[in-house]
A and B are shown apart, each in its own frame.
Chain A
């Protein structure tokens, strides 16, 4: 009986003792519609191949046919877990191309919202990563704080997931009156909640045996593969766009970049947990320093960046998110090309996972924190 769409890929040659396991696109722990074709010897992975594109919507092509102010909603739907960071990337790139000066209040608000988004993204990562390894309770606990953050988002943006209030030149509106106290209240309880997760995981023997030494990637390999974000920093490479090329008001804020040393799954976990603490630090500083004033710069009614090419990148929760803009001086971009963080990070899966067991593949995919909306675009 011929049913080609579920047959294994013909190009994968197998030895007698090997089997091909088709993981995804419908699988509980490939975080969406990623398809991983694994070549297994028993349960040991001897080779793997990622098949992407099940969520391809042609976003980059759509951009070319939209006016500049029409594009932000598309960005919310790329990395839908970190919509704010994606939106920030787009408006900043256009602002950079147009050489716009953003009012300080808008800058601080943007940083607060982006860092809140980093918290919610990392919490969702923690939830799903823990669930992949079987810690069911951490999964649901993480949603508690994420829910609080999403409530703030709902009050601010009117949306919980695909939220954007950033406009080219600033923000479309100012924060709602209780914004500051709501965020502060959340930040007060946050460290205690983080400690709760760490009690569940940090000294849990099973958690340690599932993550320590699993999916190791060295710093040199990580650089070669173009890894960015927490996976890169877990391998001990000190690179964070917020420090390396500060944008918005990050230069005025004090925060540390947590680094790992062994580059295994546990280090990636630790780095992200520490990043949440640092994000909280940033948010509190920014809230305290939050200046008064307008939130929108003077921008022309019709947005026409001058002709030329420009690259800009921000540190999204997943890694360095870059955007390459080619403009011909008209109202539509000629080309908008993403440097997706998850897509590049996912390329390291083969390096990390070959030689380990099926269960490790799941743990490694979880530790890379991928979002298929951004990978497939």
Chain B
């Protein structure tokens, strides 16, 4: 039905500039995002290398800056192997199922307030779209991401992959609970599930009324529960059990090669960025910070800086901690984080009811 869009009533309606605006935003956000994800691998390898007293990739281009490009080319030209006994349809579907939800999350993330394009005289909100249940929508999408891993584990017809898939499904279901519980306190304060509204709610105190600081100590407790759960949700060290290299070889992507493997890889990094962005929006005020009212373009800068902090944290954790064992991971999730987040929720509600 593309003709419909160009028929006479549509041309006159304000829909056309809107569609152009959307297309441009999608283009720039996803273009920037994919580049950022590629450079995230470079960033991780360099930072990790410095932690481990080595140099990291520094051969391709200045300071190794073209390394992600070289990696990408290598991934494309590698042989795409499908195991003989694999379920070929599901085996191909799995990386797609993993990548698509991971990338779809970005249409929902706001990274700044409205921005007036000079010359155009149009207010452009700095997010692709926003729904009034943004938080839940992100959780729904990240929850769908688990199918990619589960499918990969099942379709590979490999016991290591299967164990990785099982571990990840159990892990993600377990930590999702604590994660959602930990943010209900924030939702109570903001009174909305809309990511933009949640950000705007943290605008007070000179742009520093972040949910991390409000309702002490529940904000900080909630933040740390969210932080732990988010690392677990994204399957990163010390919770990288689904792909635990020294136990399960490579877990669910043991059999994957070439671009299929790269898709899992991109999905993992995309999820890291989503989780970091969620932590930023929910607890660190999103794009809020000092002087954001005067200079709206500071918003995206603050946002990127905060997300960058979390990404650095991921790398830092990877450079510091060993890996949990499966049962210890479950104990931490169910016996510590979940009860703690429930207590925290009650505490937040009490404070909201009696003191605010």
Contact = CB atoms under 8 A, between A and B. Distances in A.
A209 B325 contact: yes
Contact of B84 (A1, A28, A144): A1
A36 to B, nearest CB: 12
B53 A359 contact: no
B164 to A, nearest CB: 11
Interface in B153-192: 159-160, 163
B328 interface: yes
Nearest to A134: B323
Contacts of A131: 246
A206 B238 contact: yes
A330 interface: no
B38 to A, nearest CB: 22
A140 B237 contact: no
Interface residues of B, number: 30
A133 B54 contact: no
Nearest to B240: A134
Interface of A: 1, 19, 21-22, 27-29, 43, 130-137, 139-141, 144, 200-201, 204, 206-207, 209-210, 357-360, 362
A131 B160 CA distance: 19
Contacts of A144: 53
Interface string B309-325: 00000000011111111
Given A28-B246, A134-B246, A357-B327, A141 B322 contact: no
Given A134-B323, A141-B52, 5 more contacts: A133-B322, A134-B238, A137-B319, A204-B321, A359-B247
B244 interface: yes
Given A134-B246, A136-B319, A210 B325 contact: yes
Nearest to B324: A206
10 contacts: A134-B244, A137-B52, A144-B53, A206-B323, A209-B325, A210-B322, A210-B324, A210-B328, A359-B244, A362-B247
B245 interface: yes
B245 A133 contact: no
Interface in B279-325: 318-325
Contact of A29 (B52, B246, B322, B326): B246
B249 interface: yes
Contacts of B237: 134, 136
Contacts of A141: 52-53
B51 interface: yes
A282 B318 CA distance: 36
A139 B49 CA distance: 12
A29 B160 CA distance: 14
Contact of B246 (A1, A209, A360, A362): A362
Contacts of A133: 246, 322-323
Interface of B: 48, 51-54, 84-85, 159-160, 163, 237-238, 240, 244-249, 318-328
A139 B244 CA distance: 16
A208 to B, nearest CB: 10
Contacts of A140: 52-54
A134 B243 CA distance: 11
A357 B246 contact: no
Given A1-B84, A357-B325, A357-B327, A200 B246 contact: no
Most buried by B among A29, A43, A200, A359: A359
B53 A206 contact: no
Contacts of B54: 140
A204 B322 contact: yes
B245 A28 contact: yes
A200 B322 CA distance: 10
Nearest to A363: B325
A210 B320 CA distance: 15
A136 B323 CA distance: 10
Contacts of B163: 21, 43, 358
Nearest to B85: A1
B325 A359 contact: yes
Given A136-B319, A359-B247, A21 B325 contact: no
A28 B327 CA distance: 22
Q: What 4 A-B pairs are tightest by C-beta distance, nearest first?
A: A134-B323, A29-B246, A140-B52, A135-B322
A137 B326 contact: no
B347 to A, nearest CB: 25
B159 A19 contact: yes
A26 to B, nearest CB: 9
A137 B246 contact: no
A19 B238 CA distance: 27
A28 to B, nearest CB: 5
A92 B160 CA distance: 46
Most central of A1, A139, A358 by chain B CB within 10 Å: A358
Contacts of A43: 163, 326
Contacts of A358: 163, 247-248
B324 A209 contact: yes
Contacts of B84: 1
